[in-house]
Amino acid sequence: MRLAKFLAHGGVASRRNAEKLVEGGRVAVNGEVVRDPARDVGDADEVRVDGGLVGTEPREVWAVNKPAGVVSTAREPGKRPAVVSLVDSTARLYPVGRLDADSTGLLLLTNDGELANRLTHPRYEVEKAYRAELRRPPSDRDLERLAKGVELEDGMTAPARVRRLGEREVELVLREGRNRQVRRMAEAIDNEVVALRRVRFGSVELGSLSAGGARRLEQVEIGRLWEDAES
C-alpha cells in the first residue's frame, strides 16, 4: 500500500493532506524520514507521524448537526469549539468538506481518508442540499437564474435544483462545493443569506438530529455513501 493511502486509512488525514505531511518530512518509516508519498509500506513497517505511531483503526463515519459558531476543523487554535468535540469517539476524525462558522446543519466526520476524498472530489458530483433564508423574497426570475447558474468570481456555477419553501426560504441542491457558494450565489442575484443550513449530504439526511448532536452511521449508510460517489 502506498504511504499516503496508509496514512489516510490510519485516520491521520485525507490522502491529499497525507501527501503534504510526507513531503514536509513529518513521516518516518522504520526510523527513516520518507518524503515520497508513493513509497510502499506494509503491516510489518513502523510508520510514525511527528513521532506518533500510526496504526489502522476501524473506519467510522459520523453525522453531526453543527451549530453556529462551531468551526469545521479537527482542531481550533482559537476560542471557538471545533466540530470534532461534538463526537464521542476516540478515532482520529476530521470533517468531510466544510461549513462556514455561521452556517448550521449536516456535517460528516470520518477517519476514512479515501471515502472523504471521494465525497468531496468534484469529479463525483455528490449532491448536497441546503436551506437558505434570504434577506428579501426572491422573484421567480431569481430562482431561475440560480437554477441555471450564476457568474461568480471563480466562474459560472453548475446547474442546480432550486425550489421555494417560503416567502424568503429556498432549498438548493448543488453538485459542487465551492467556498461559501450558496452565500455568493445569493449575492449574485442581489440578495443575502441570513441563515443557512445543510440538510443532506449525498444519501445522508440531517433528519431530526438535534443541534450539536451526533450519531454514528450504520454500515448500510456508509455503503450508500460509497454508491453516491461511484459516478
Residues designated catalytic: 100
Q: Return d(Cα 34, Cα 29) in angstroms, integer.
A: 7
226: which DSSP letter? Answer: H
Residue type, 18: A
- Cα 62 from chain centroid? 11
Q: Return d(Cα 178, Cα 169) in angstroms, integer.
A: 21
Could you identify the residue written with the cell 490510519?
10
Could you identify the residue written with the cell 455561521?
102
Q: Return d(Cα 164, Cα 117) in angstroms, integer.
A: 32
The Cβ of residue 198 has, within 10 Å, a number of other Cβ atoms equal to 20
Q: What 3-state DSSP class applies to 40?
A: strand
Q: Return d(Cα 148, Cα 22) in angstroms, integer.
A: 42
Joined grid coordinates for residue 156: 459560472
Could you identify the residue written with the cell 450539536?
212
What are the residue ranges of helices labelled H in the chain?
A: 3-9, 15-23, 113-120, 140-148, 181-188, 219-228
